[in-house]
Amino acid sequence: MAFQSIRGMRDLLPAEAKRLRAVEERVRAVLDVFGYEEIRLPLLESTDVFSRGVGESTDIVEKEMYTLEDRDGGSIALRPEGTASCVRACLQHGLLYNQQQRLWYAGPMFRYERPQKGRYRQFDQIGVEAFGMPGPDVDAELLHLCHVAFEALGVGSSLRLEINTLGSARDRAAYKAALVAFLEPHRDALDEDSRRRLDRNPLRILDSKHPATKALLADAPMISAHLDNESRAHFEGLKSLLSELGIDFVVNPRLVRGLDYYTHTVFEWVTDALGAQGAVCAGGRYDGLIEMLGGKPTPGAGFAIGVDRLAMLVDAVDATVANAKLDGYCVVLEERFTASAMQLAAELRRAGRRVRVHMGGGKIKSQMKRADASGAQFALILGEDEVTSKQVTLKWLRADLPQETLPREQLVARLARAGS
């Protein structure tokens, strides 16, 4: 029996890998111009990093995290999210105390979920974190960064920003008590998951998709009634900044995040173009997390982009964004001219062109078919005449332009003039 990938894990074949890389590169370019710096984190962490940081009562820790026993008897986990790992790294290397940090990371995360389109057990995220800034200004900057990245990918109009506030830890605790007091008399009317959450993580009930539970929540208390003046001012400041930046948003009073560390601002960028998997990016403020993981009280905020879902949305809007093709394809009429073709390709690559050299021999007809199938804009033909005279034959594959033979040193300028 042939081996198969593990359920929920998938192979990214070249075309799909190219799509994801194109999307990631656009986002990374925006992170760079905003002045955020990359940090690379391990795939494995102590299980305690997540059980303490994310929360023992969360679905991630209770049901979805991949854990295993290390050879020394300790418990380790494949990272299910990046924020707790990033905080651990910053604490370990002394990056937080009396400092400000703007960081980002990218790579696979792992959760044991029911696989479906847009949701996998191994999935890629780009995470962004900002530490040491307590005000709504950095919340607004993070959302502005998202806005610019989504506009750069051409999907801004397909996404809707929803925001809410959970207030301070004290506000959140007061609201949690009020919500439990409201729901407890209706325990039997709740769905099974909500009954379990009522005792351990009641705010997550607000996320329920169960019709009877959603109907019951229509009369539930609102967190806005439990906010202190400081929390209200923070949220009003964020809304004002977003309006000044021209970023449209909707206040969703039922929006909560599934992780215990969130306080104050929470947000999601959602789309109606992907069916059930509508959340493309989500995050918020987590001012208590650093202290929970053993550090001094330090404000923090961040978000994670689901790269798989973002690529799906890009494809739904404009597939050309994530499917960039080759510029050129070198056709080699005899194998003895391969070195010359590789040298020519190297010259073009130094000029920023994406060029592939044909390998494996074959007649010119079959090579030209491969050149066309590659999606390249032009073919460069090297035979004995071209190599001897230090020239190259240029054949356009996508434009109605005549074939021409020209000196190799003029090729880069010729391509620039043609706009290719």
Task: Note the pLDDT tens digit of each residue in 287-333.
Answer: 989 998 999 999 999 999 999 999 999 988 865 554 557 899 999 99
CATH number at residue 394: 3.40.50.800
The answer as to whether 30 is a domain residue is yes
Query: 9-32 as b/e, with b when 16 or more CB fall inside 10 Å?
Result: eeeeeeeeeebbbbbbebbbebbe
Give the model confidence (pLDDT) of 376-411 as tens digits: 999 999 999 999 999 999 999 999 999 999 999 999
Domain boundary among 288, 318, 348: 318
Give the pLDDT confidence score for residue 106 in this predicted structure: 97
| 5-9, 186-190, 201-205: the lowest-pLDDT one | 201-205
What are the start-end ranges of the H helices in 218-337? 229-244, 289-292, 307-318
Give the SS3 label for residue 367.
helix
Residues 298 and 332 in one domain: no
- Tokens 């078919």: give the residue: 369
Give the model confidence (pLDDT) of 341-374 as tens digits: 999 998 999 998 999 999 888 999 999 999 998 8
Give the pLDDT confidence score for residue 324 in this predicted structure: 55
Phi and psi angles of residue 279, each rounded to the nearest 5 degrees, phi first: -85, 115
Residues 271 and 346 in one domain: no
The answer as to whether 339 is a domain residue is yes
- Angle at Cα 76 formed by Cα 74 and Cα 81, nearest 5°? 155
The answer as to whether 177 is a domain residue is no
Task: Give the residue numbers spanning the domain of 80.
Answer: 14-168+228-318
The answer as to whether 314 is a domain residue is yes
Closest CA to 325 of 392, 405, 379, 366: 379
Residues 234 and 382 in one domain: no
Strand ranges, E, within 114-220: 122-131, 160-165
Residues 242 and 373 in one domain: no
Give the pLDDT confidence score for residue 157 in this predicted structure: 92
What's the domain count of the chain? 2
Q: What is the C-alpha radius of gyration for the chain, rounded to an integer number of angstroms?
A: 27
pLDDT band at 266 (very low <50, low <70, confident <90, very high): very high
Give the model confidence (pLDDT) of 40-96 as tens digits: 999 999 999 998 877 765 667 777 899 999 999 999 999 999 999 999 999 999 999
Domain boundary among 290, 318, 346: 318
The answer as to whether 185 is a domain residue is no
The answer as to whether 173 is a domain residue is no
Cα–Cα dist 11/3, whole Å:
13
The answer as to whether 64 is a domain residue is yes
Closest CA to 269 of 238, 311, 306, 239: 306
Residues 44 and 108 in one domain: yes
Identity (one letter) of the amino acid at 389?
A: S
Closest CA to 289 of 170, 169, 162: 169
CATH number at residue 29: 3.30.930.10
Q: Which percentage of the chain shows pLDDT scores above 70? A: 95
Give the SS3 label for residue 101.
strand
Looking at per-residue confidence, does 200 or 226 come out higher?
Answer: 226
Residues 313 and 333 in one domain: no
Residues 289 and 343 in one domain: no
The string of DSSP codes covering 45-73 is EEHHHHIIIIITTSHIIIII--EEE-TTS
Domain boundary among 318, 338, 366: 318
Residues 312 and 336 in one domain: no
Residues 253 and 383 in one domain: no
Give the pLDDT confidence score for residue 260 in this predicted structure: 65
The answer as to whether 235 is a domain residue is yes
Identity (one letter) of the amino acid at 98?
A: N
Residues 254 and 401 in one domain: no
Residues 28 and 89 in one domain: yes
Cα–Cα dist 248/159, whole Å:
10
User: What residues are paired with 305 via a beta bridge?
Assistant: 126, 281
Residues 279 and 156 in one domain: yes
| 98-112, 246-260, 399-413: the lowest-pLDDT one | 246-260
Model confidence at 155: pLDDT above 90: yes
